[in-house]
Amino acid sequence: MKEVYLDNSSTTKALDEVIEAMVNALKVCYGNPSSLHRKGIEAEKIVLDAREKIAKALQVKPSEIYFTSGGTESNNLAIKGVAYAKRKQGNHLITSQIEHPSVLEVFKQLENEGFKVTYIPVDKEGHVDLEQLEKSITPETILVSIMYVNNEVGSIQPMEEIVKIVSRHENITLHVDAVQAFGKIPLLPSLKGIDLLSISAHKIYGPKGIGALFIREKTKIVPLFNGGGQEKGIRPGTENVPGIAGFSAAVEVVFKNFEEWTLRMRNLKNHLRNRILTEIDGTVLNGPKDGAPHILNISFLGVKSEVLLHTLEVHGIYVSSGSACLSKKGQKSHVLLAMKKKDEEIDGAIRFSLSPFLTFEDIDYTVEVLKKEVAQLRKYAGR
C-alpha cells in the first residue's frame, strides 16, 4: 500500500547518514567520553565535533551548546534553570498562550511555587501580541519564553521585534523554543538577542532522545540534575554518544541542503493548501498563509478530526489532529482556542506536516483521498 507520511512535526524518519553515524558510535566508538584511554578519546571527539557542527549552524560558540535528552528537557532546563537562578531579582515570568506543553506545564509548576506568570495572547493567525508583551513587562520580570514556530499552525513569531522589546530591559533573560524552527527557517540575525534556545534532533531527521540547549555566555542558570561534571555541570550524566553522533549527521545533511529543502517543502505545502481550499468545500485555514514551510493546519467542517485521521490512515496517509503530546489526552487544542477558533473549526482541525522527501504525486493522492472521504464522512454525519 502507498504510504504518505504527513506527520513530520511529530517526528521524522532518520536519514541513512544518521543511522550510519549511530551504528559507528555503538559498535566502534563505544567508549565513555570521560575515560582517558583511546576508546574514551574517540567518543569524546564525536561529542566535540557535534558541538562544533551545531554551533556553526547557529553561528554561536561551541562552548555555548549543551546536549540534553531532547526539546522537552531543553525547555525545562532553560525555564526552571533561569527562574531559580534569578529568583532574588524578581519573580515575574512571561510566555505566550500557544506554547508547547513542555513550556506551558513548566510555567504552571512555577506558578504553584510562587512565581507570577503572564500568558500573552495571540491574534487570529497565531502571532504574539507585541503591544501586550511590552505592557506586561514589570521591574520584577526576569524571564520571557516565546516559541519561534508554533508546532500546530506554523505561525512564525516576529522574533526580531520580540528581541528588541526584551533587550531594552537588562534584567530579562530571553528563551526561545526553536524545536520546530531549527533546520526549517533562518534563525539569524534575531538569534543574536536570544539568551537560550532549545532544539531537538528528531524533528530534523535525526534520532529521538537527543537535543541541545544554546546558553549564551554569562547567562545565569541552575542545573536540574546533580552528578558528574559533564556539560560543565549544567547537564550531568554520561553523554548519549550515539544520539549525539546521529544529531551531528542530521545537522550536517539538513544545513547542506537547507535552501533546496525549505523551498521544496514550501512548494509542496502551497500545492496541498491550494488544492484543499479550492476543491473541498467547508475548509478553513488555521494560521498564516506564509508561515513555516512545513506546517499546514486546515479544518474540515462537519468532520471530527480523529475520525478523519484514522480514515486517512486506512489509505496509508499519516497526519495529526494537533500536537502529538496532547492528542492522546483528547484535549481541545489550546492553540486554536487562543486563536479564537470556533468549536466546529477546532473539532475538525488536521495538521499536515511535510518533509522534502514527499512528491507532488503524494500530495495529489492525499487530496483525492480527502475529497472522497470528507464527502463520505459528512454524508454519514448528515451535514
For 276-290, what is each residue's pLDDT tens digit?
999 999 999 999 999
pLDDT at 259 over 70: yes
Q: What is the DSSP string of 333-354?
A: PHHHHHTT--HHHHHTEEEEE-
pLDDT digits (tens, 9 = 90+) for 19-54: 999 999 999 889 999 889 998 999 999 999 999 999
Give the pLDDT confidence score for residue 325 in this predicted structure. Answer: 52
Angstrom distances, CA of residue 83 to CA of 8, 13, 174: 32, 35, 11
Contact between 351 and 295 under an 8 Å Cβ cutoff? The reply is: yes
Is 29 part of the annotated catalytic residue set? no
Q: What is the largest CA-CA distance in the chain?
A: 71
Contact between 312 and 362 under an 8 Å Cβ cutoff? The reply is: no
In b/e form, how buried is each residue of 118-154, taking b as 16+ CB within 10 angstroms?
A: bbbebeebbbbeeeebeebbeeebbbbbbbbbbbbbb
- Over residues 98-122, mean pLDDT: 98
Contact between 103 and 117 under an 8 Å Cβ cutoff? The reply is: no
pLDDT at 327 over 70: no
Global pTM reads 0.96
Which CATH fold topology does 16-253 show? Answer: Aspartate Aminotransferase; domain 2 (3.40.640)
CATH placement of domain 4-11+258-382: 3.90.1150.10
Give the pLDDT confidence score for residue 330 in this predicted structure. Answer: 65
pLDDT at 229 over 90: no
Q: Where in the chain is the domain with CATH 3.90.1150.10?
A: 4-11+258-382
Q: Where in the chain is the domain with CATH 3.40.640.10?
A: 16-253
58-72, 269-283, 287-301, 368-382: least confidently modelled range: 368-382
pLDDT digits (tens, 9 = 90+) for 169-217: 999 999 999 999 999 999 987 788 999 999 999 999 999 999 999 999 9
The helix/strand/coil state of 45 is helix
85, 277, 284, 325: the active-site residue: 325
